[in-house]
Amino acid sequence: MSSASTRGLPFVDAMTPAVIVLAGPVARDEVPRLSEDVRTRLEATGVGVVVCDVAGLGPPGLTTVDVLARLQLAARRAGGRIRLRDPDPALRALLGLVGLSFEVEGQPEEREPALRVEEAVEPGDPAA
């Protein structure tokens, strides 16, 4: 007995984010293709996150920052976000310097401080 081949995308576990590996210096002319790849992967997985493995990017520069910002914009327009995997400390510093915030894989999420935490009051502080 034979079965007909199915059309469409293969089954993807909805809890596994898609991964894009950015290797070597990434040029601005690659942004449209990469942005389309991000949108396609977000639609295919339905997870809402695309992991960008940036370990092989090399020394960071403003072109790298621009590319990552445009990929984040494409992901947000598609209803998702970008998570960085293995960013170089220099890249993280450069992203912080220009005011861009990315979720980093393996980094704990920033959360609200715990409730019922008492703050110390210094003498001379005005009453709240």
CATH number, position 37 = 3.30.750.24
| pTM, 2 dp | 0.69
Q: Is residue 3 part of a domain?
A: no
Q: Is there a domain that residue 6 lies in?
A: no
| Residue 90: inside a domain | yes
> Does a structural domain hold residue 48?
yes
Residue 4 lies in a domain: no
Listed in sequence order, the residues at least 6 apart from 45 whose beta carbon sits closer than 8 Å to its beta carbon are 12, 14, 16, 17, 18
Q: Examine residue 7 and state whether it is found in any structural domain, yes or no.
A: no
- Residue-by-residue pLDDT tens, the chain, 128 positions: 444 555 554 444 456 788 999 988 888 899 999 999 999 999 888 889 999 999 988 888 889 999 999 999 999 999 999 999 999 999 999 999 999 999 998 765 555 555 555 566 667 766 65
User: H helices of the chain, where?
Assistant: 31-45, 62-77, 89-97
Number of domains in the chain: 1
Residue 71 within any structural domain of the chain: yes
Please give the residue range of the domain that contains residue 83.
Answer: 18-104
